Every structure is written in C-alpha cells, then in structure tokens.
Amino acid sequence: MDYFDRHEGGERAILVHLEIRQISDPDDLEEFKLLVDSAGAKQLAVITGSRQKPDAKYFIGSGKAQEIAEQVQALEADIVIFNHSLTPSQERNLETLLQCRVLDRTGLILDIFAQRARTYEGKLQVELAQLNHLATRLVRGWTHLERQKGGIGLRGPGETQLETDRRLLQIRVTQLKARLDKVKQTRAQGRAKRQKSDVLTVSLVGYTNAGKSSLFNRLADENIYAANQLFATLDPTLRRLDWQGVGRVVLVDTVGFVRHLPHELVESFHATLEETLEADLLLHVIDSSSPDMHEQIEAVKSVLAEINSDVPVLNVYNKIDLTGEPAHINYSEPGVPSRVYVSAKADLGMSMLTTAVQQLLTGKLSTFELTLPYDAGNLKNELYRLDVVEQESYDESGHEILTLRLPADKLQQLLGQSNIDPFAVLPKEQAELLIPKLEPFEQELKQEAEQALLSDSNLKEDFADYELEAEPTSLTEQESND
C-alpha cells in the first residue's frame, strides 16, 4: 500500500468486527485491518463479538455498544469503524451514544478510493459515489459532533456545504455526471489511439496488496526504455518496457480488487478494468502468503468473468520469500506456462517470469524481412513509429530491407492499409504467416466442400480417368490384357 504517505498520526480508531450468523462472511478481519491501515487510521483496539442478527438500533447489542463507549473514552478515540454496512439511523444512533464519529465499511472503502483516485475520471467517480453515500445520511445533521477538519470518512465533498444545503448536493451530482460523460468519451478515443500505436500490452491485475505495483516498479526499473520518461509522467500506471527476451511491451498497473465492493463503486471499478480487456496478456498477481489466497483468487476470477475477459492469464504467485516456495514455473501443457512463483520484493524468480511471459507472447511476435517498395514511405514511417524495426539493410540490387518484429496480424493490417500484397514484399514462408490459420470448424467446412465436389458426377468421371492413368497397377493389368 505504497500509494500515499499518510498525514502524521492519523485518526485514532477503534475497529468493530462481529460474526453475524445470519451473514456468512467469515475471516475477513485481517482484510479489514489492512483496509483501515490503507485509510491511514491508527488502530487502538479491535472489538469482536458475535450475534445472531444485527440489532435494529445500534447494529450491535446495547451491552456491546456500552463497552465500545467506554473504550472510546479510555483510549481517546476519534472514530469507530465497523466492518459492516450500517444504516444511516444506526450510524446516527451510534454517534450519539459513542460521542465520536462512526464509519461503516462502505464509507471506509469509499475513503480509500478517494485517497487513491489518481485520474480525473477516477476522482469524479469517487466523489459521485461519496455524495450518493452521504446523501442518505445528510438528514442526521452534524451538530452533535465536533466539526472535523480533513479526517477520514469525509474527504472529497466539503462538509459545510453538505450539511447546509441538500440542493447544492444535487447540483454537484448533476455536474459530476455531465463531466463524467465527457471524460468517458475522451477516454474511449484515447484508448483507440493507444491500441493502434501499441504493439503488445501486458496488464497486471489482482487483489489489493498482492504486489502489483511492486512488480510493476521492478519490471520497469529492470527494463528501462529510453522513451519512458514522458510516458511515465503522463500516466504513472503505464510503462513502456524494452523487456529483455520479450521485446517492446506496454505494461499496465491496475487498481486492486476488494471483496464486497460498495455497489456505488462497482461501476467505476469495472470501467477502469475494462481497459485491461484490450491487453494481450494478463498477469494475475497473487499474494501467495495470504491465508485468504483462494478466496482472493476466486474474487478476481469472478470479476474477470463479469467483464467478459478472454485475454490469456498467467498466474503470478508473489511473495515466495514469505512462503519458502522455490521460484519455478508450472506448465498446463508443454510450452504453455500457467503459474510462476516469484517475489517482487526479494527479487526472486524474475527471470522465470520473463521466460513465461516470453513463451506466452512469442506466438504473437514474429520476425519478418520486408523488402520495402519504393513508394512506401508512409508504411516505413508507421513501422518506425511503432518501434518494430530491428534492422535496416539493402540487398544486392539496392532494395531496402527492414527486419521487423511484431505480431503477424499487425503487419497484415499495415500492409492492407497500404494496399501491399504480402507475397510481393516478404519471403513466401513469412507471407504465409499473415494468412490466418483456418479454425477447426472451417477446416471441416473445407473438407465438406471437397467431398461435395468429388461427388459431382462430371467431376467424378474426370477424376476416374485421372485415377486410371495415375494408377500403375491398373495400367499393368491393361497392358497384360492386350
């Protein structure tokens, strides 16, 4: 969780985590603590307990509520954070009783997202979600509480406006929605542009705290690409790599997954992830030292399924320095890696990661020797712009030859745009790479068509003649008959 340095001495918080038997959601106390850490609050105490079902007034029982009130006094807490969703009235009742601010799980996650949102769009989306979340709570009035200056739970919307005028809130919401629409349009355009100009894209996805950003930074440091500087400053989550052994790729870091995402945020979260759909390979980074590893893997997989991702995935089991697992690669079939065990922090297994990525991407990259036609200046510029020219040379008759490394379908697209026949500019076996391989069902169709032709009677006669001539045994028989 290295995105933000917290202001000194964050809020003094008491955490409340109950086992509710009617809600089966065990063992995410550890995750709750991580989230509270992320929000920058200081954990004074964790109060646990169990109940059959939530209490209507306080969520917890009144005895437990009293216990918390005493703790708030004794520990001088500023805030009590619940690992549950509270109704606005429960929150209000608790604040009155505890005489301090109360934040529920949704509010907590919204707060973290507010701190982390880096893009303009992300900020707008989080603010919108926060306003929607607050709107239901506005009725409470804040008079019974001391006014807070920039504590957690209230970042983003200005509190004074909110408490004085619901109408302002509505205006702000409308404004935000209009801006979001605009941003979405621009983003779609930007994405199309980037997609066109990039050769291969690899995206890091995974549960929060898995080590995506650590891996991103290590890969970026080890594979510095000269033109990185500008790129990095424009967008800290994108890096062009000259990945030794793999080639030029764009690496993308993404925001981490969290279970039980507040529904206000699901949409914006999906929107940011949809960009990963356009990647050529996903590295699913997994915290292999987490006791919740399997739940986290499942959570990530189900989100990927929801956004209909069919991009190939390599599972990267990170943090092996903590598990003692040796660095290695698992294969699902020969030549097709499915898992790599690494440590981004301790720098273990990075060469194996490279090997695995290389194996998964080599199918995509091929080398071509292109004889450049005289009038193909545009094509040449485009190839240089894409950075896929490895070498420039001349043949005996003075023709310019470019050695290229790029996906076959990309080259096909470029030649098509310039109306160039691949067979005119590439060696035959390379030009054949550009012709898409037939899918199995297409092969079946082709065979059927051939069968149909064969059963055509005229053709059959022709074919019979041909067979007679071609069949040496029948010829011998004929000869002997003569």
Ligand X SMILES: Nc1nc2c(ncn2[C@@H]2O[C@H](COP(=O)(O)OP(=O)(O)OP(=O)(O)O)[C@@H](O)[C@H]2O)c(=O)[nH]1
Q: What is the DSSP string of 126-165?
A: HHHHHHHHHHTTGGG-STTSPPPSS-TT--SS-HHHHHH-
The rounded distance, in Å, linking the Cα atoms of 203 and 419 is: 33
Residue 39 or 241 having the CB closest to ligand X: 39
Stretch that binds ligand X, among 137-145, 315-323, 353-361, 395-403 (CB under 6 A): 315-323
| Residues within window 210-229 making contact with Mg ion, judged by CB under 5 A | 212-213
The reply, when asked if residue 346 is annotated as ligand binding, is no
For position 268 contacting Mg ion by CB under 5 A, the verdict is: no
- Is residue 207 annotated as involved in ligand binding? yes
What is the rounded radius of gyration, in angstroms, for the C-alpha atoms of the chain?
31
253 is in an annotated binding site: yes
CB of 254 to ligand X, least distance (A): 8
Q: Is the Cβ of residue 213 or residue 315 nearer to Mg ion in the bound state?
A: 213
Q: Is residue 214 part of the contact set for ligand X (CB under 6 A)? A: yes
Q: Does 162 bind ligand X (CB under 6 A)?
A: no
Are the C-beta atoms of residues 315 and 286 closer than 8 Å to each other?
yes
**Under rule CB under 6 A, residue 130 binds ligand X:** no
**Residue 208 labelled as part of a binding site:** yes
Q: Is position 221 an interface residue for ligand X (rule: CB under 6 A)?
A: no
Close Cβ partners of 143 (under 8 Å, ≥ 6 residues apart): none
Instruction: Tell me how far, at minimum, the Cβ of 90 lies from ligand X, in Å.
Output: 29
Total of chain residues touching Mg ion, rule CB under 5 A: 2
Rounded to 10°, the helix 377-385/408-417 angle is 150
- Assess 1 for contact with ligand X (CB under 6 A): yes
- Print the binding letters for residues 331-370 with ligand X: x by CB under 6 A, - otherwise: ------------xxxx------------------------
Task: Give the CA-trace dihedral at 409, 410, 414, 416, to 10 degrees.
Answer: 10
Of the pair 324, 334, the CB lying nearest ligand X is at 324
Kind and range of the H or E run holding 80: strand 79-82
Given candidates 151, 153, 157, 211, which one binds ligand X under the rule CB under 6 A? Answer: 211
Q: Considering only CA atoms, which of 270, 255, 260 is closest in space to residue 308? A: 270
Q: Can residue 265 be called a binding residue for ligand X (CB under 6 A)?
A: no
Give the chain's end-to-end CA distance (angstroms, integer): 94
Q: Is 212 in the site for ligand X (CB under 6 A)?
A: yes
**Piece of the chain touching Mg ion by CB under 5 A; list 20-28, 128-136, 148-156, 206-214:** 206-214
Judged by CB, which is closer to ligand X: 38, or 93? 38
Percent helix, strand and coil across the chain, each to the nearest 5: 50, 20, 30
**Residue 206 interacting with ligand X (CB under 6 A):** yes
Shortest distance, position 201 Cβ to ligand X, whole Å: 18
Beta carbon of residue 213, minimum distance to Mg ion (angstroms, whole number): 3
With binding defined as CB under 6 A, does residue 218 bind ligand X? no
Calculate the alpha carbon distances from 395 to 279, 371, 378, 402 in Å.
37, 9, 21, 10
Distance (Å, whole) CA 208 – CA 452: 58
Could you say whether residue 256 binds ligand X (CB under 6 A)?
Answer: yes
Q: Per the annotation, does 165 bind a ligand?
A: no
Interacting residue with ligand X among 135, 322, 350, 352 (CB under 6 A): 322
Determine if residue 343 is labeled as part of a ligand binding site.
yes
Q: Is 206 annotated as a binding residue?
A: yes
Query: Residues 165-204: x/- map of binding to Mg ion (CB under 5 A)?
Result: ----------------------------------------
E strand map for 273-362: 281-287, 313-318, 329-333, 336-341
Q: Would you say 235 or 369 has its CB closer to Mg ion?
A: 235
Q: Are 352 and 345 in contact (CB under 8 A)?
A: no
Among 210, 281, 299, 304, binds ligand X (CB under 6 A): 210
- Rounded Cα distance, 5 and 116, in Å: 11
The angle subtended at Cα 17 by Cα 13 and Cα 21, nearest 5°, is 165
Q: Are strands 12-20 and 281-287 parallel, antiparallel or unpaired?
A: unpaired
Interface ranges with ligand X (CB under 6 A): 1-2, 206, 208-214, 256, 285, 318-319, 321-322, 343-346
Residues that bind Mg ion (CB under 5 A): 212-213
